[in-house]
Amino acid sequence: MDFNFLNDYFMFFIHGAKITLLLSIFTIFLGVLMGIVLALLRLSNNVVLKSISAAYIEFIRGTPLLVQLYIVYYGLPLIGIEFPDIDALGSSFPDLMSGVVALSLNSGAYVSEIIRAGIQAVEKGQMEASRSLGLTYGMSMYYIILPQAFKNILPALGNEFITIIKESAIVSIIGIHDLMYNTDIVRGNTYKPFEPLIIAAIMYFIMTFTLSRLVGFVEGRLKVSD
């Protein structure tokens, strides 16, 4: 095995990894926001809102991410949503946004199921005690239920974040210059089909392993009240 290509391409890998990271951070953020909203809709007493949320989650879980990505990529311009073509980090901004939107829409559905389970695992008495003090439903959710739910679901949420980093490799298909895309470029340019993959794998692993340690650390911090 010959890794001499790193002399020329190391920064190219790093650059790809940056895009992957950026994509993942936006997706995690938007996915969690969406997940909270979907979970609250799913748990609401309004049948219409509940059904919308349930249907959305079923649809996302029942279709391939690749199909969703294509639908967003070709669909957004069709319904008139176009992002300005500013040069963002060497990758086309509209493409990048398509990737973020598709991954977030996907992740939101999974996150919402995690959050829903977490909320439902908080004892019923917690909401009752909070409401009996005079706190509104929203305040009770914010101060009492969600913090406890968050603690319950942190391991599952961490898994989902790791999944996002890994699954983000799929956006290379629509031409986003992420780690996977750049790896393929190196493979083509150097006529080495194998070695660049090792580098990519190591870089993905460094990202996911760091994240999983980070989640473990936060989990430990939250254990003080146990």
Partner 1 sequence: MINVNDMNKSFGELHVLKDINMNITKGEVVVIIGPSGSGKSTLLRCLNLLEVPCDGKITFQGIDITDEKNDINKLRQNMGMVFQQFNLFPHKTVLENITLAPMKLKKINKEKAEKIAMDLLKQIGLEDKHFTYPNQLSGGQKQRIAIARALAMSPDVMLFDEPTSALDPEMVGEVLQVMKQLASDGMTMAIVTHEMGFAKEVADRVVFMDEGSIVEVAEPKKIFSNPENPRTKNFLGKVLSVS
Residue numbers at the binding site for partner 1 (CB under 8 A): 123, 125-126, 128-136, 139, 143-144, 147-148, 151, 224-226
Report in angstroms how near the CB of residue 222 gets to partner 1 at its nearest.
Answer: 8
Report in angstroms how near the CB of residue 148 gets to partner 1 at its nearest.
Answer: 5
Comparing CB distances to partner 1, the nearer of 115 and 171 is: 115
Structure-block tokens of residue 144? 């009492």
Q: Give CA torsion, residues 59, 61, 63, 66, to 10 deg.
A: 130
Structure-block tokens of residue 155? 């391991």
SS3 content of the chain, % helix, strand, coil (to 5): 80, 0, 15
Residue 44, helix vs strand vs coil: coil
Report in angstroms how near the CB of residue 121 gets to partner 1 at its nearest.
Answer: 13
Comparing CB distances to partner 1, the nearer of 131 and 166 is: 131
Comparing CB distances to partner 1, the nearer of 4 and 132 is: 132
Comparing CB distances to partner 1, the nearer of 80 and 221 is: 221
Q: Give CA torsion, residues 185, 188, 191, 195, to 10 deg.
A: 40
Q: Which residues contact 134 (CB under 8 A, 6 or more apart)?
A: none
Report in angstroms how near the CB of residue 60 gets to partner 1 at its nearest.
Answer: 31
